[in-house]
Amino acid sequence: MSLLANTIKDGFIKALKTTATLMKVVLPVYAIVVLLKYSPVMPLLEQLFQSSMGIYNLPGEAVVPLIAGVFTDEYGTIAATRQFDFDSLQITTIAMICLVFHSIPVEYALSRKIGLPAGKLVLYRLIMAIIIGLITAWIGGLFL
Amino acid sequence: MTASFSTIVSEFFFGSISTIISVLKVLIPLMIIIEILQVYNVMQKLSKKLASITKLLGMSPPAILPLLVAIVMGVTYGAGTLMEMNKVNPIPKKDYVLIAVFFFICHGIIETSAIWAAAGANLIIISVGRLVYAFIVTMIVGRLPIFYNHKSFKDLND
């Protein structure tokens, strides 16, 4: 088989493997968020985070995908995001925050493995995520 | 509970399936592209052209390869490249940390941007915006005095 054909085949197999890992994240996150959404905890969460999410022009429920992203990965965040009605700018803001600050347990372990100051990097990412969220929420609308 | 059991089950079932399908539609072509990039050493060729950028970021030229791999292809590929490079020819600690400073803000740009764009986010903001943000932050961090006084970077300045 030619190199190109082989490469395409390898890529396809990798995509299928990623799907398996993806399902391990998306299914539980989806289940938890659906249950959470209809439980009495949700209005409480919304109220609790209304003011802090308001800084980002996000409704209180946006805290759910953000928290999901911290512990899982961007697929977990997408699974959680799709269950609420966010507009394009709100999704972009959530994306920017979670793309900087996500999969903390996994990437903490990874950065320790390659010999980086893992704890400091987590703090750094949190601060950078807060800043990029503010920038996106405030000037992102100019581009949409 | 404000919804019936059947609503919850059907929402879970159809919602999670449609999420996975929409991600897959993007993921399969992307994984093939990433595989092609790797097999044909595209990153190595590109890194030669972009080596001068490292000066702006405060790194040494060899640092461009792991950085580029992490930005374009993803953090696991980038970490793999870093580990391999460290075995042969270790890059300075300062570069090591600056690469991390950059790629923890912006990594796997092909994959994440495409998937988030499919989910309804603005493609330009999450790809170009993130790249520019990471670039500016790394430029600032690389010039902080802490980097020149910290004990782990002493060997660089001697």
pLDDT tens for each residue of A60-74? 999 999 999 999 888
Count, residues in chain B: 158
The domain spans of chain B are 5-157
Instruction: Indicate whether this complex's ipTM tops 0.90.
Output: no
- Chain A residues with CB under 8 Å of B125 CB are 92, 96, 136, 140, 143-144
Among A22, A99, A121, select the one facing B100 at the smallest CB separation.
A121
> According to DSSP H, which parts of chain B are helical?
5-39, 42-50, 53-57, 64-73, 75-88, 93-103, 109-118, 123-124, 130-142, 146-149, 154-157
Which residues in B lie closer than 8 A to residue A144 (C-beta atoms)? 122, 125
| Least confident segment among A6-10, A18-22, A75-79, B129-133 | A18-22
**Residue A24: how many other CB atoms lie within 10 Å:** 12
pLDDT value, residue B91: 84
Q: Please indicate if any CB of chain B lies within 8 Å of the CB of A122.
A: no
Across residues A116-142, what is the average pLDDT? 91
Which residues neighbour A7 within 8 Å (Cβ) at sequence distance 6 or greater?
Answer: B32, B35, B36, B39, B40
More confident residue, B88 or A85: A85
Q: Kindly list the residues from chain B whose CB atom is less than 8 angstroms away from the CB atom of residue A89.
A: 122
Question: From the CA of A51, how many Å to the nearest CA of chain B?
Answer: 23
For A56, which DSSP code? Answer: T
pLDDT band at B1 (very low <50, low <70, confident <90, very high): low
pLDDT reading at B121 higher than 70: yes
Q: How far apart are CA A56 and CA A43, in angstroms?
A: 19
**Whole-number Å distance between alpha carbons of B124 and B130:** 9
CA B145 – CA B99 distance, rounded (Å): 18
